[in-house]
Amino acid sequence: MKRLSRKDLEVIANRVIRAYMKLPEVANQPVYRIYPEILAESLLGLKIDYQHLSFDGSILGMTSYERIGIELPGCDDSGEVYFLDGKTVLIESDLRECVEQNGRRNFTIMHETSHQVLKMLFPQDYGANPYERPIHFCKVNTVRRKPISDWEEWQSNALASVMLLPKSLVEQAMRLFDVQGGIRMLNKIFAKEEYPILLPDFSCHTLRHTYATRLCEAGINIKVIQDVMGHADIDTTMNIYIDVTADLKKKEITTFDSFMEGQKDKDGSA
| Domain assignment present for 71 | yes
- Quickly state the pLDDT bin for 46 (edges 50, 70, 90): very high
pLDDT in tens, 199-241: 445 556 667 777 888 888 788 888 888 888 888 888 888 887 7
Q: What is the DSSP string of 23-67?
A: STTTTTS---S--HHHIIIIIT--EEEEE---SSS-EEEEEESSE
* pLDDT score of 80 more than 70: no
| Domain assignment present for 58 | yes
| Domain assignment present for 248 | no
The more confident residue out of 63 and 253 is: 63
| Domain assignment present for 243 | no
Residue 59 β-bridge partners: 139
Spell out the residues 6+ positions from residue 129 whose beta carbon is closer than 8 angstroms to its own.
1
Which residues span the domain enclosing 58? Answer: 1-164
| Domain assignment present for 68 | yes
Q: Please say whether the beta carbons of 177 and 99 come within 8 A.
A: no
Give residue 174's pLDDT. Answer: 77
Long-range contacts of 222-230 (CB under 8 A, 24+ apart): 228/32, 230/102
- Quickly state the pLDDT bin for 140 (edges 50, 70, 90): confident
| Domain assignment present for 139 | yes
Domain CATH number, residue 70: 1.10.10.2910
Mean pLDDT of 77-81: 61
pLDDT in tens, 154-166: 889 999 999 998 8
The more confident residue out of 200 and 110 is: 110
> With pLDDT > 70 as the criterion, what percentage of the chain qualifies?
77
Give residue 41's pLDDT. Answer: 96
| Domain assignment present for 74 | yes
Give residue 65's pLDDT. Answer: 85
Number of domains in the chain: 1
Q: Please say whether the beta carbons of 118 and 159 come within 8 A.
A: yes
| Domain assignment present for 202 | no
Nearest to 164 by CA among 199, 121, 204: 204
